[in-house]
Amino acid sequence: MAEGRGDGACESVDVVVLGAGPAGLTLGNVLIDAGIDCVILERTSRRQVQTRTRAGFLAENTVRILERHGLADGLRRRGREHSRCEFRTEDGRFALDYAGLGRGERHTVYPQQELVSDLLACFLAAGGRIRFETEASAVLDADTDRPRVLVRDRDGRPDRWRARYVAGCDGRHGAARNSLPPGAVRRHHSDHGLSWLGLLAEAPPSMPAVAYAVHGRGFAGHMARTAEVTRYYVQCERGTSAESWSEDRIWDELALRMRTADYGPLNQGRVIQRGIVDLESDVLEPLRHGSLFLAGDAASLLSPSAAKGANLAVLEAEILGQALIADLLRGDSAGLERYSDQCLSVIWRAQEFSHWMIRLLHDVPGPDSSFQHALRRSRLASLRTSRSRQNWFAENYVGV
């Protein structure tokens, strides 16, 4: 419902959703399907939203959530099931067929930009409202039952929205986090002191499995995306510029670390995207301040070693969406009261596995580096030989 436009006026909705990533778009679809009046505010353009390349491994629970809300048609048509990962180490290589371990679950490989495009199309087809190139600058009055969101539109003009609730799905540097008053939440943060050069190469996958290579020169990873495009990661020094590595250096380093002399060459192609990833972990607690709720990267950040980010975002969006529906349609606020604790229990389990994966794949620098190196080799040996360890790995690798 519009309360007017111009200086001193606001547009009013039940829920303002900040951010059009997996969390914001999943939440928007859940809300609009229930008849909740909502709007999504996204600071970038539609083209940028639909071309951002991020994670591409969806857990079975994530697929079930999307199916439950009629949002899985695209991934069911174009996604590819994936159930094997390989480790290449100084002590040889081994593979785990994790679909036959743990809970017997597998991943669906579906690039995030395609998932986001699907979610956006569903939202718009259902009559959803989204404002692109509209940057939220602040969430005000979050400790009341009528919070306000200050924004600037694509022409730089100021505007305001008023809502019953605001869902902050706009990332770790977005307005939702930045609007939290001092002392409202506690931030748990860990910088692991490690960096990766992330690459997308115009080359078919070189193997059916995800491959994790542990090498004295640093970690390297191979992750299939599509039949024509592969993602690679190469550990690099903190502070490295993504452009400082030539393509020849990239392929030489990947070949060395992935031990292609022993296990066969990599399919090479033009590097079409590159960027630096600093491995950090970050959690806010609680995930609520009054009428403002956090989800996705605004709630927590994990290293990509665990492939959990988009999966957590979709799960949190469904939990929050159902809680908002119960409150707005039936006056039942119990789900909103439980939201933070319910999500944090899953987030911390994912963080624990992410931390374990970081220690599995890297030699962490420090005064006890030789001790840590020996522990890492022991972890890999245990994963190679112990069925109980393999079951634990599979349950946490795919589970959310």
Contact indicator for 277, 219 with CB cutoff of 8 Å: no
Find all residues with CB under 8 Å of 97, minimum gap 6, and list them.
83, 84
pLDDT over 80 (residue 212)? yes
Question: Which is catalytic among the residues 98, 110, 165, 212?
Answer: 212
Range 182-192 average pLDDT: 95
Question: Which is catalytic among the residues 82, 107, 289, 362?
Answer: 82
Question: Which is catalytic among the residues 165, 233, 339, 397?
Answer: 397
The predicted structure's pLDDT at residue 9:
63
CA distance 365 to 114: 38
DSSP 266: P
pLDDT over 50 (residue 281)? yes
The predicted structure's pLDDT at residue 7:
43
Q: Where are the domains of the chain?
A: 11-81+109-189+282-355, 192-279+368-398
DSSP 102: T
Q: What fold does the segment set 192-279+368-398 form as a domain?
A: D-Amino Acid Oxidase; Chain A, domain 2 (3.30.9)
Find all residues with CB under 8 Å of 34, minimum gap 6, and list them.
321, 325, 329
pLDDT over 80 (residue 2)? no
Tokens (6 digits) for 174: 């977005």
Contact indicator for 130, 19 with CB cutoff of 8 Å: no
CA distance 211 to 259: 11
Question: Which is catalytic among the residues 110, 304, 339, 362?
Answer: 304
Q: What is the dihedral of CA 242, 248, 254, 259, to 10 degrees?
A: -160
CA distance 229 to 177: 34
Q: At what angle do helices 387-398 and 334-361 cross, to 10 degrees?
A: 130
Q: What is the value of pTM for the model shown?
A: 0.93
Q: Is 342 exposed, middle or buried (0-12, 13-18, 19+ CB in 10 A)?
A: middle
Q: Is 181 a catalytic residue?
A: no
Q: Is 397 a catalytic residue?
A: yes
Q: What angle do CA 174, 341, 328 make, to 5 degrees?
A: 75
CA distance 187 to 128: 33
Proportion of the chain above pLDDT 70, given as a percent: 98
Contact indicator for 220, 232 with CB cutoff of 8 Å: yes
Question: Which is catalytic among the residues 111, 308, 339, 362?
Answer: 308
pLDDT over 90 (residue 5)? no
Contact indicator for 22, 116 with CB cutoff of 8 Å: yes
The 3-state DSSP class for residue 196 equals strand
- Maximum distance among all Cα pairs of the chain, rounded to whole angstroms: 69
CATH class as words, domain 11-81+109-189+282-355 = alpha beta
Q: Is 107 a catalytic residue?
A: no
Q: Is 98 a catalytic residue?
A: no
Q: Is 82 a catalytic residue?
A: yes
Q: Side by side, which strands form the sheet with 57-58?
A: 57-58, 107-109, 80-82
Q: Per-residue pLDDT tens for 257-275?
A: 999 999 999 999 999 999 9
* Mean pLDDT taken over the chain: 93
